[in-house]
Amino acid sequence: MPRPKAFDEEAVLQKAVNLFWCRGYEATSVQDLVDGLGINRASLYDTYGDKRELYIKALEHYRDAEHNGFCQWMDQSRPAIDLLRDLFTGGIRQSVDDPQQKGCFLVNATIELAPHDPAIARIVAANQRTFEERLRQVIERGQREGSINRAHSAADLARFLFTTFTGLKVMSRARPDLSAMQAVMDVAMSTLQPID
């Protein structure tokens, strides 16, 4: 029978998310992890493998939480255009309210590691495809119900919204300015408006 763990793996993983999300992969040392997670070095290696494996587990943990939140948001029966506006507004509010200016962990991972680490590149590219597909479904519903125009395909609009949202998450790392971010959102959302 395996020896029971002396710590809550879920809580420790969430701490690892916060450490890597805030500082990035390279700037977070194994000693930072030992200090921040409150477990000893042997437990860290025993439970999570090396630093890179822990980073990947933390990134997947963050991604799963984002996906769950996204699915709950999608399930609402309000007009698609309102859902999309709320998605932008919520994302902007989250960035502006974060004193650590963490941005999005997946965007940060894309910049820091994707070109050099195929496993990270696969995770962030798959996440992008998943989010674009879910946005596409919401946009198609909006096109059917008439709250979103058909001047562009739902797939292209989904990719566009995901890209602009990514740009806002970069902006929030340096200058999380509420009115500037809302202005960007307003222009982005204008691409969806029904044509009179």
Interacting residues toward its own copies by CB under 8 A: 22-24, 26-27, 100-103, 107-108, 110-112, 114-116, 121, 124-125, 128, 151-152, 155-157, 159-160, 162-168, 170-171, 173-175, 180, 183-184, 186-188, 190-191
Residues 10 and 17: their CA atoms lie apart, in Å, by 11
Closest approach of Cβ 47 to its own copies, in Å? Answer: 25
Query: Quick one: 5 or 93, whose CB is closer to its own copies?
Result: 93
Closest approach of Cβ 164 to its own copies, in Å? Answer: 5
Query: Quick one: 39 or 51, whose CB is closer to its own copies?
Result: 51
Closest approach of Cβ 85 to its own copies, in Å? Answer: 15
Q: Closest Cα to residue 172, out of 113, 90, 117?
A: 90
Closest approach of Cβ 116 to its own copies, in Å? Answer: 7
Query: Quick one: 134 or 173, whose CB is closer to its own copies?
Result: 173
Residues 93 and 114: their CA atoms lie apart, in Å, by 27
Distances (CA, A) of 142 to 66, 74, 158: 22, 12, 12
Q: Tell me the CB-side half-sphere exposure of residue 178, using CA atoms within 13 A.
A: 7
Axis-axis angle for helices 118-145, 51-74 (nearest 10): 0
Query: Quick one: 68 or 100, whose CB is closer to its own copies?
Result: 100
23 neighbors 32 (Cβ within 8 angstroms): yes
The two structure tokens encoding residue 25: 């992969």
- Counting every residue written for the chain, the total comes to 196
Residues 24 and 108: their CA atoms lie apart, in Å, by 7
Query: Quick one: 23 or 85, whose CB is closer to its own copies?
Result: 23
Closest approach of Cβ 157 to its own copies, in Å? Answer: 6
Cβ within 8 Å of residue 49, ≥6 positions away: none
Query: Quick one: 4 or 99, whose CB is closer to its own copies?
Result: 99
Closest approach of Cβ 48 to its own copies, in Å? Answer: 21
